[in-house]
């Protein structure tokens, strides 16, 4: 099942559960307002809240102008995906960017303008990580969103951008404001010991006079005493506007929270720029001619699943499921019927687009109809229905599906439109219009099976460090590494690879053909939680910056290291993955020979080189891989000196794909700034890309 154990979409599962979030729809000018009372301290405060992104921009907190300078926090739409804080004429912008539409971000802004050291006056954290911000705040400045009698808002900045972008389009949950204290994230969250993910915990401290706690638990009315109620005990309620608690597609109290994350539409996984997601990624609209699909953020590889789409007006609408093929590369209808697509999609006009073609389907739907989609990955069966009635068969009984899909390794929700086609989806974050068939589940994290690797950092990790020019140890890993790959970030130096099979001090360089060298001041030891590097300038120049990637060998993480001696004869080499390797990289240790690569996309039919600009080639591929694909116990080599020169020593690094932990795949570039979306099913910590089709 996807996603995996290190993805933020698995955040949750701890003892503290957040029941509700509030969806804020920019299209409805959703906003919360109140007037501040007398503060405990107008210069010191902490904001802590969880935010799931929809569209760019949107003001989290805005304070009325005081002495000509208002204050606000936002995801900046003019510098996309950065955090921007504007405080009394000073702009602060984050260095990192935040682009994950499936993630709940925990954001903490802690201010104390009385601090003598300027860098200490404001601290910003995202998921417990300190965020580097440009600029400094004026000493002893009052905070305009905590001054008596000032208007303060959530989701709107009083026309700061002079258009609708200052309204949030997304979700807020667990919103705490602490008047008079500068706190750290540990007051509001903790690291889950099982997954290593930052999760919420209940704030147990005091709030101060203007403090408040919004948990959006009361959907009995769209009033300050209900959906805008302050649960801190202070009675600092917020007046809602543009927020609905009426059942249906506009209902804005959600069960999509940091502790129970739901699938939403993925605005970065679309077939064309004029397919837009809105209303916190629950509505799609395709403008212009030609189709342009959008997929959901959850892909599944087992289980039974259900979702709904309320059909909007305008042009053509489609709903169904597809595999993770590159929808930006397709033309025409852009459905699974196109080359590369696997799935089944129902068109409102009465067509079934499915793997390999399309059919007249004899069932149609129109504006405001509720389209029901049920799919069973294990059997490949897909059913469609409308307004509580299935078109054919019964999903609960497994009978008469609309189509039976075969071949995908993952299925995702797939929505499509043309010429104004629009629809509103529901993956279960609000009440379904119709009860899902027995055994079929909503797309949320509680319904996903436990991944085989819950905590990815006990098998792979990346470390940033600064060189010392002397012996230095890395001791922050959760495992003893078997492969460490090191590269300077600040200097044009070669890559350096060390592994436990060849032994310490034995260095290979992945960007060079060179044979293995012995570096007595290179990596000198592997330890239970890291490794030691000597003074070798390539690895440890004083004040230079480095990134180190480290892997643990084993069948569970899908990584193996094999050493062997060539004999210039076709043969097999045993490995210990217990699964078919999807990526094999071979290097001669004794001679100047390139790094030879086998990739699952081509298996034994082609070979490539890790270093150099050569495309993957079919010519003489048999000499590398003996025209034989690898198995779960062996891989095959031919007679080429790249992999099997007589009496030459080699090392081979092998990876198999482990669901939710590693992804080894391919994609086709499109030459556009809006490049292809590559679905991994988790947030990757290491990405290796090599051109396969052109010399690059």
* Mean local confidence (pLDDT), 445-474: 95
* Mean local confidence (pLDDT), 251-279: 94
* Mean local confidence (pLDDT), 300-304: 96
* Mean local confidence (pLDDT), 464-482: 97
pTM of the model as a whole = 0.92
Does the pLDDT of residue 13 top 60, yes or no? no
CB 398 within 8 A of CB 390: no
Does the pLDDT of residue 530 top 70, yes or no? yes
* Mean local confidence (pLDDT), 250-272: 95
Does the pLDDT of residue 235 top 70, yes or no? yes
Identify the CA nearest to 368 among candidates 397, 348, 395.
Answer: 348
Residue whose token pair is 């409308």: 386
**More confident of the two residues 302 and 138:** 302
Instruction: Check residue 14 and give its pLDDT.
Output: 52
Does the pLDDT of residue 271 top 60, yes or no? yes
Confidence of residue 103 (pLDDT cuts 50, 70, 90): very high
Q: Give the bridge partners for 158, in sequence order.
A: none
CA–chain centroid gap for 679, Å, is: 9
Does the pLDDT of residue 1 top 50, yes or no? no
The DSSP letter of residue 241 is E
Provide the token pair at 343.
């799935």
Confidence of residue 3 (pLDDT cuts 50, 70, 90): very low
* Mean local confidence (pLDDT), 12-16: 62
Confidence of residue 67 (pLDDT cuts 50, 70, 90): low
Instruction: Check residue 138 and give its pLDDT.
Output: 87
Confidence of residue 52 (pLDDT cuts 50, 70, 90): very high
Provide the token pair at 197.
């993910």
Confidence of residue 589 (pLDDT cuts 50, 70, 90): very high
User: How many other C-beta atoms can be found within 10 angstroms of the C-beta atom of residue 88?
Assistant: 19
Domains in the chain and their CATH numbers? 8-254 (2.60.120.200), 265-447 (2.60.120.920), 456-551 (2.60.320)
Does the pLDDT of residue 501 top 90, yes or no? yes
Identify the CA nearest to 627 among candidates 609, 605, 642, 607.
Answer: 605
Does the pLDDT of residue 494 top 90, yes or no? yes
* Mean local confidence (pLDDT), 440-466: 95
- pLDDT tens for 646-678 read 999 999 999 999 999 999 998 888 888 778 888
- pLDDT tens for 375-387 read 999 999 999 999 9
Q: Give the mean pLDDT of the chain.
A: 92
Does the pLDDT of residue 493 top 80, yes or no? yes
* Mean local confidence (pLDDT), 94-106: 92
Degrees, nearest 5: CA angle 646-652-658: 155
Distance CA 30, CA 241 (A): 6
CB 86 within 8 A of CB 158: no
Distance CA 219, CA 27 (A): 20
Does the pLDDT of residue 330 top 70, yes or no? no
Instruction: Check residue 162 and give its pLDDT.
Output: 44
Instruction: Check residue 66 and give its pLDDT.
Output: 61
Degrees, nearest 5: CA angle 225-228-229: 55
Sign for the CA dihedral angle at 625, 626, 627, 630 comes to: negative
Does the pLDDT of residue 475 top 90, yes or no? yes
Pairing of strands 122-126, 151-154: unpaired
Percent of the chain beyond pLDDT 70?
A: 95
- pLDDT tens for 393-413 read 999 999 999 999 999 989 999
Candidate from 79-88, 173-182, 349-358 with smallest mean pLDDT: 79-88
Instruction: Check residue 5 and give its pLDDT.
Output: 31
Instruction: Check residue 327 and give its pLDDT.
Output: 83
Does the pLDDT of residue 7 top 50, yes or no? no
Does the pLDDT of residue 445 top 50, yes or no? yes
Instruction: Check residue 421 and give its pLDDT.
Output: 95
* Mean local confidence (pLDDT), 471-494: 97
Candidate from 165-169, 453-457, 553-557 with smallest mean pLDDT: 165-169
Confidence of residue 280 (pLDDT cuts 50, 70, 90): very high
366 burial via Cβ count (<10 Å: 0-12, 13-18, 19+): exposed
* Mean local confidence (pLDDT), 674-688: 88
Does the pLDDT of residue 2 top 60, yes or no? no
Does the pLDDT of residue 194 top 50, yes or no? yes
Instruction: Check residue 272 and give its pLDDT.
Output: 85
């Amino acid at each position: 099942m996807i996603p995996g154990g290190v993805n933020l979409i698995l955040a949750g599962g701890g003892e503290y559960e957040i029941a509700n979030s509030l969806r804020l729809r920019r299209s409805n000018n959703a906003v919360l307002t109140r007037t501040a009372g007398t503060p405990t301290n107008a210069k010191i405060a902490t904001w802590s809240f969880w935010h799931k992104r929809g569209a760019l921009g949107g003001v989290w907190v805005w304070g009325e102008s005081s002495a000509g300078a208002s204050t606000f926090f936002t995801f900046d739409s003019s510098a996309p995906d950065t955090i921007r804080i504007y405080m009394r004429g000073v702009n602060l912008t984050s260095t990192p960017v935040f682009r994950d539409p499936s993630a709940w971000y925990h954001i903490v802004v802690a201010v104390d303008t009385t601090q003598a050291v300027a860098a200490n006056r404001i601290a910003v954290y995202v998921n417990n990580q300190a965020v580097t911000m440009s600029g400094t705040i004026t000493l002893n400045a009052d905070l305009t969103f905590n001054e008596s009698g000032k208007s303060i808002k959530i989701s709107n900045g009083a026309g700061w951008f002079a258009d609708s972008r200052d309204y949030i389009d997304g979700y807020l949950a667990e919103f705490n404001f602490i008047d008079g204290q500068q706190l750290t994230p540990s007051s509001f969250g903790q690291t889950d010991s099982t997954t290593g993910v930052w999760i919420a915990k209940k704030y147990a401290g005091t709030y101060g006079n203007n403090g408040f706690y919004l948990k959006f638990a009361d959907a009995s009315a769209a009033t300050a005493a209900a959906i805008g109620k302050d649960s801190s005990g202070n009675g600092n309620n917020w007046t809602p506007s543009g927020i609905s608690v009426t059942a249906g597609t506009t209902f804005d109290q959600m069960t999509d929270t940091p502790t129970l994350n739901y699938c939403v539409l993925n605005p970065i996984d679309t077939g064309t720029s004029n397919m837009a997601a809105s209303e916190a990624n629950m509505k799609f609209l395709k403008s212009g001619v030609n189709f342009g699909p959008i997929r959901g953020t959850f892909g599944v590889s087992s289980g039974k699943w259900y979702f709904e789409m309320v059909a909007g007006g305008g042009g053509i609408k489609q709903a169904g499921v597809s595999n993770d093929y590159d929808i930006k590369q397709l033309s025409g209808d852009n459905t699974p019927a196109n080359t590369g697509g696997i799935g089944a999609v129902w068109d409102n006009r009465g067509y079934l687009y499915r793997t390999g073609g399309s059919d007249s389907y004899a069932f149609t739907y129109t504006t405001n109809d509720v389209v029901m989609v049920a799919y069973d990955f294990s059997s490949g069966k897909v059913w469609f229905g409308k307004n509580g009635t299935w078109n054919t068969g019964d999903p609960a009984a497994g009978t008469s599906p609309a189509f039976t899909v075969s071949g995908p390794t993952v299925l995702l929700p797939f929505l499509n439109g043309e010429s104004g086609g629009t629809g509103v989806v529901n993956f279960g974050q609000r009440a379904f219009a119709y009860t899902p068939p027995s055994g079929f589940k909503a797309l949320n994290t509680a319904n996903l099976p436990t991944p085989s690797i819950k905590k990815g950092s006990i098998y792979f990790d990346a470390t940033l460090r600064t060189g010392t020019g002397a012996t230095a140890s890395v001791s922050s890993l959760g495992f003893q590494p078997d492969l460490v790959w090191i590269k300077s970030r600040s200097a044009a130096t070669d890559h350096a690879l060390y592994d436990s099979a060849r032994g310490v001090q034995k260095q290979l360089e992945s960007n060079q053909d060179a044979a293995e060298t012995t570096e007595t001041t290179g990596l000198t030891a592997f330890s239970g939680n890291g490794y030691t590097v000597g003074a070798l300038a390539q690895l440890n120049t004083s004040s230079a910056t480095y990134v180190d990637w480290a892997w643990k060998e084993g069948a569970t993480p899908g990584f193996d290291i094999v050493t062997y001696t060539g004999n210039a004869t076709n043969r097999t080499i045993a490995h210990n993955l217990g699964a078919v390797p999807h990526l094999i990289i071979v290097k001669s240790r004794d001679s100047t020979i390139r790094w030879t690569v086998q990739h699952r996309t081509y298996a034994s039919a082609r070979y490539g080189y890790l270093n150099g600009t050569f495309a993957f080639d079919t010519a003489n591929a048999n000499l590398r891989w003996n025209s034989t694909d690898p198995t779960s116990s062996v891989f095959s080599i031919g007679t080429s000196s790249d992999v099997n020169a007589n009496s030459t020593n080699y090392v081979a690094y092998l990876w198999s794909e482990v669901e939710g932990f590693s992804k080894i795949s391919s994609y086709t570039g499109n030459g556009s700034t809006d490049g292809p979306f590559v679905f991994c099913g988790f947030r990757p910590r290491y990405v290796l890309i090599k051109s396969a089709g052109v010399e690059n």
